[in-house]
């Protein structure tokens, strides 16, 4: 049987990984500046993470959400402690797309409305309503396109309010740092304005923190820079450090009822254990502080690249924008310098999403290679 051919693959076969490095089947070492799409938060194969999962697997790996699972309760408390988001409820699932599906479904239930407001260059997943709210027609099938979604330019509050006045919008879904779209951000004034408009027009504010959450921005969540209190917060990627896990945090103004949401695998014993290990390491190793420190160092080093048009993003969710397409440059960085980097919807932008354990010496390797190729 063949694999369904939907991924353009690099000719690299990783067989093991440790901290910020990946090793292929030929023994070549690669510096991972992409983290498998921002998934690797505490470093590959971290011993605390490996030991926690190994120990849990020897006890129980899975049972459904028909029984008590104290690990989920412990996880909810730990997320509250580490993130500072008080009084939210946790619902667990298994991916970022699933998190956003549940967020959008819950918003529609809560408001009894059906239309979603999203923004240009957004990315919220590849399934059902999540892909409908993603600004990429190439991946939206006719089935998905039946969803009612309005796309607006990022940063235009007047258009947002005009849309809320004229249509029954159940949710505004926002990435405070856009990921796949190219690291664009708006202002605190805009994000606070969205929050106020959501309260005014009975609309749910969803903060999609799938890529930017769990410390990647230098804060636990990217929206915290702007002092927001979203109704729903979507989680995944760095939450599990490679284990398939996702979730949403739900504001107490939104009430639960039996059967409202559901999942087979979400929050299972292994998923909860993986996320607890990530939180423990984030705290013990001060990785959010390291993300900010390394971001500052990266910003200084970027000033040495005259061809750089703009450095975008914050924390360790960064984008280097040039005035030329970067696909060929990324291939050279990979095959000549053994550096994994990321692409985006913007063909001129290199995305940098390393493990939060990265150090200055690793950033130096990247900029030395970049200088040689430019």
pLDDT averaged over the chain? 97
- Enumerate the H helices of the chain as residue ranges: 35-38, 47-57, 70-83, 96-111, 128-132, 142-145, 157-166, 188-200, 269-284, 287-302, 327-335, 360-373
Burial class (CB in 10 A: 0-12, 13-18, 19+), 327: exposed
Quickly state the pLDDT bin for 62 (edges 50, 70, 90).
Answer: very high
The answer to whether the beta carbons of residues 80 and 114 sit under 8 Å apart is no
Contacts of residue 69, defined as CB under 8 A and 6 or more positions apart, other chains included, come to: 63, 267, 268, 269, 272
Contacts of residue 300, defined as CB under 8 A and 6 or more positions apart, other chains included, come to: none
Q: What's the topology of domain 14-43+287-373? A: 3.90.1150
Q: Looking up tokens 């995944």, which residue turns up?
A: 236
* 48-284 CATH choice from 1.10.340.30, 3.40.640.10, 3.40.50.2300, 1.20.58.1880: 3.40.640.10
Quickly state the pLDDT bin for 269 (edges 50, 70, 90).
Answer: very high
Assess whether the region 14-43+287-373 and the region 48-284 belong to the same CATH fold: no
Distances 19 to 22, 45, 349 between C-alpha atoms, Å: 8, 7, 25
User: pLDDT digits over 95-120, tens only?
Assistant: 999 999 999 999 999 999 999 999 99
CB contact burial 141-163 (16+ within 10 A = b; e otherwise) = eeebeebbbbebebbebeebbeb
Q: Are strands 246-250 and 310-314 parallel, antiparallel or unpaired?
A: unpaired
User: pLDDT digits over 145-202, tens only?
Assistant: 999 999 999 999 999 999 999 999 999 999 999 999 999 999 999 999 999 999 999 9
The answer to whether the beta carbons of residues 205 and 192 sit under 8 Å apart is no
What ranges do the domains of the chain cover?
Answer: 14-43+287-373, 48-284
Q: Within 10 Å of residue 363's Cβ, how many Cβ atoms?
A: 21
pTM for this model (two decimals) = 0.97
Q: Which of 241, 211, 207, 247 has the alpha carbon at shortest distance from 226? A: 207
User: pLDDT digits over 293-319, tens only?
Assistant: 999 999 999 999 999 999 999 999 999
Quickly state the pLDDT bin for 93 (edges 50, 70, 90).
Answer: very high
Q: Looking up tokens 């440790």, which residue turns up?
A: 18
Q: Looking up tokens 């639960």, which residue turns up?
A: 256
Q: What is the mean pLDDT of residues 12-30?
A: 97
Quickly state the pLDDT bin for 17 (edges 50, 70, 90).
Answer: very high
User: What DSSP designation does 222 have?
Assistant: G
């Amino acid at each position: 049987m063949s694999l369904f051919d939907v991924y353009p693959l690099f000719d690299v076969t990783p067989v093991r990984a440790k901290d910020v490095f990946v090793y292929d089947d030929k023994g070549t070492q690669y510096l991972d500046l992409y983290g498998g799409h921002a998934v690797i938060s505490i470093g590959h194969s971290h011993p605390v993470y490996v030991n926690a999962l190994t120990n849990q697997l020897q006890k129980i790996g899975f049972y459904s959400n028909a029984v008590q699972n104290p690990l989920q309760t412990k996880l909810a408390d730990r997320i509250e402690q580490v993130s500072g988001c008080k009084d939210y409820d946790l619902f667990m699932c298994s991916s970022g797309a699933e998190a956003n599906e549940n967020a959008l479904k819950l918003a529609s239930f809560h408001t009894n409305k059906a239309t979603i407001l999203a923004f240009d260059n957004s990315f919220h997943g590849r399934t059902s309503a999540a892909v409908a709210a993603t600004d990429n027609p190439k991946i939206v099938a006719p089935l998905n396109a039946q969803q009612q979604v309005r796309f607006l330019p990022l940063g235009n509050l007047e258009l947002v309010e005009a849309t809320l006045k004229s249509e029954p919008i159940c949710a505004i879904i926002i990435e405070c740092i856009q990921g796949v779209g190219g690291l664009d951000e708006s202002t605190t004034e805009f994000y606070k304005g969205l929050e106020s408009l959501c309260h005014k027009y009975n609309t749910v504010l969803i903060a999609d923190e799938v890529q930017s959450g769990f410390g990647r921005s230098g804060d636990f969540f990217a929206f915290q820079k702007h002092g927001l209190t979203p109704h729903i917060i979507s989680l995944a990627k760095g939450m599990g450090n490679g284990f398939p896990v996702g979730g949403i945090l739900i504001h107490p103004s939104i009430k639960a009822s039996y059967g409202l949401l559901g999942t087979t695998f979400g929050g299972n014993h292994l998923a909860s254990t993986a996320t607890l290990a990530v939180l423990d390491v984030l705290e013990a190793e001060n990785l959010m502080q390291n993300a900010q420190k390394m971001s500052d160092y990266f910003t200084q080093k970027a000033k040495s690249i005259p061809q750089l048009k703009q450095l975008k993003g914050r924390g360790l969710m960064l984008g280097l924008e040039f005035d030329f397409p970067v696909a060929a440059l990324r291939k050279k960085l990979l095959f000549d310098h053994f550096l994994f980097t990321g692409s985006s919807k913007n063909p001129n932008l290199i995305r940098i999403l390393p493990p939060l354990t990265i150090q200055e010496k690793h950033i130096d390797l990247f900029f030395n290679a970049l200088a040689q190729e430019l």
